[in-house]
Amino acid sequence: MEKGEKPVKSVLFVCNMNQIRSPMAEFLARDIFGDRLFAQSAGIYTGDEDGFMQSVMQERGIDVSKHIPESLSELDDSYVDLVITLAEQARDDTLDFFKGQSVDIEHWPIDNPSIARGNREAVLEAYRKTRDELEARIRARFS
């Protein structure tokens, strides 16, 4: 946490479809910080489960099999201290969604690994890169 930043007790990670980047971030934050940080995720739209995301999270011993993609409008509770968007479209739509609410919004431009091409190992490597970048940013932001 940077000097002058207020402590964050709850965070919402938002990407386009809540199937790769935002659930990775949610489950990494939960794994790293446990009960000290309430983390959830959503998308602008809802996508389908992503097997590559599940595989690279399982490599870290994090089970995401119970994750069900949901959109911002489907959230049970949208009150959070901080919203972190992970995709350009998500940033713009999230600003509109939270307009008039007292919530801090940050944008972390994280590449979408689902656009990776090549054999299975090349695609998995793109997903690992995304996972590792999210982990580093989460540790730096909330430690």
Residue 4 domain-assigned (yes or no): no
**In the chain, how many domains are there?**
1
Residue 3 domain-assigned (yes or no): no
The set of residues, in sequence order, having a beta carbon less than 8 Å from that of 82 and lying 6+ positions away, is 8, 10, 11, 12, 103, 104, 105, 106
**CATH at residue 130:** 3.40.50.2300
Question: Can you give the pTM of this predicted structure?
Answer: 0.93
Tens-place pLDDT, residues 102-141: 899 999 999 999 999 999 999 999 999 999 999 999 999 9
Tens-place pLDDT, residues 27-85: 999 999 999 999 999 999 998 999 999 999 999 999 999 999 999 999 877 789 999 99
Residue 5 domain-assigned (yes or no): no
Does 22 score more than 60 pLDDT? yes
Residue 1 domain-assigned (yes or no): no
Domain that includes residue 68, residue range: 10-142
Residues 52, 134: Cα–Cα separation, whole Å:
16
Averaged pLDDT of the chain? 93
